[in-house]
Amino acid sequence: MRGRKLTVFALYRYTFTGFVLSQRYAAPALLFCAAVVVGTSSDSGPLIGAYSLCAMFMFLCAIWLTATLVNNEDPVRRGVTIVSAGGARRPLAATAAVAVSCCALLTVFGVGYPAMTGKHVVTAAGVAVGAGAQLTTAAVGVAVGLVCSRPVIARQGYAVATAVTAALAAVLVPWLTPVRPTVQLLLSDRSPEDVATPLLALALTATLLLTASIVATNTITTRRD
């Protein structure tokens, strides 16, 4: 018998393969790519300013992508997976890891396209800040997507309404989540080197938020049944 880490990796492979074969990632991924293309093509000005739009759309698409990923597995089949894994925690952790991985793949496009097509001065620090900002908002999006998924909110209408409300609140209310501060930081006309430290703090906050979301989702789903 292998260890717990290998079971989580096996769960990750299973979840990722099922999601890829379902092709349900296509709509959120296309929305993100289209938004990046339309919003950053032939853009000029500071590179990290162009990444602010990518970070904003990454947040929205991460919510959609995560909810779609969790809802992809039928509840009965999820039950079989949970029994096979010996509990609900590891399948949920693997699902969150798959969602973050999908967002990381989108980040490659979200970082590369503006750098290649816009009229910017491209520096390694600028690209790193862009990637960090998008992963930060992605983590918050995954956190919101998890608590708006079917195991937590069974009725799809309520789940969509909650997700939209949470997204609007995260974007509009200052300091509710790291999304708005991250976007504002990228638009602040500061150099990439200057924004790196506050961005790191925001990334850590986003990671904590994601961890709290995983714990809350696990607690709610296991107590509700």
Partner 1 sequence: MVLQLQGISKRYERDRPVLRDVDLEVAPEERLAIVGGNGSGKSTLLRIIVGLSRPSTGTVRSPKGAIGYVPERFPCHDRMSAASYLRHLGRIRGLGSRAARRRADELLERLALVGGSGTPLRQLSKGNAQKVALAQAMMVPPRLLVLDEPASGLAESVHGVLADLMREAASGGAVLFTEHHDAFVRKNATRICRITNGSLEPATSLPETRHPRKIFRVGVVPKPREASHELDWANMRGVVRTRPSDDGVEIHVLDEHQEDILLAALKNGWSITTVTSET
Residues that bind partner 1 (CB under 8 A): 1-2, 6-7, 10-11, 13-14, 17-18, 21-22, 74, 76-77, 79-87, 222-223, 225
Tell me, rounded to whole angstroms, the distance of Cα 60 from its chain centroid. 8
What's the closest the beta carbon of residue 3 comes to partner 1, in angstroms?
9
Buried b (16+ CB within 10 A) or exposed e, 137-175: bbbbbbbbbbbbbbbbbeeeeebeebbeebbeebbeeee
Q: Which two tokens stand for residue 74?
A: 């039928």
What's the closest the beta carbon of residue 94 comes to partner 1, in angstroms?
9
Nearer to partner 1, 19 or 32 (CB): 19
What's the closest the beta carbon of residue 8 comes to partner 1, in angstroms?
9
Rg of the chain in Å (alpha carbons): 18
What's the closest the beta carbon of residue 96 comes to partner 1, in angstroms?
16
Nearer to partner 1, 89 or 190 (CB): 89
| 88 class by beta-carbon count within 10 Å (0-12 exposed, 13-18 middle, 19+ buried) | buried
What's the closest the beta carbon of residue 6 comes to partner 1, in angstroms?
7
Phi, psi dihedrals of residue 44, rounded to the nearest 5°: -125, 175
What is each CA distance from 212 to 92, 96, 140, 194, in whole angstroms?
A: 13, 12, 11, 29
Nearer to partner 1, 45 or 86 (CB): 86
H helices present in 149-191, as ranges: 156-172, 179-186
Nearer to partner 1, 74 or 193 (CB): 74
Nearer to partner 1, 85 or 146 (CB): 85
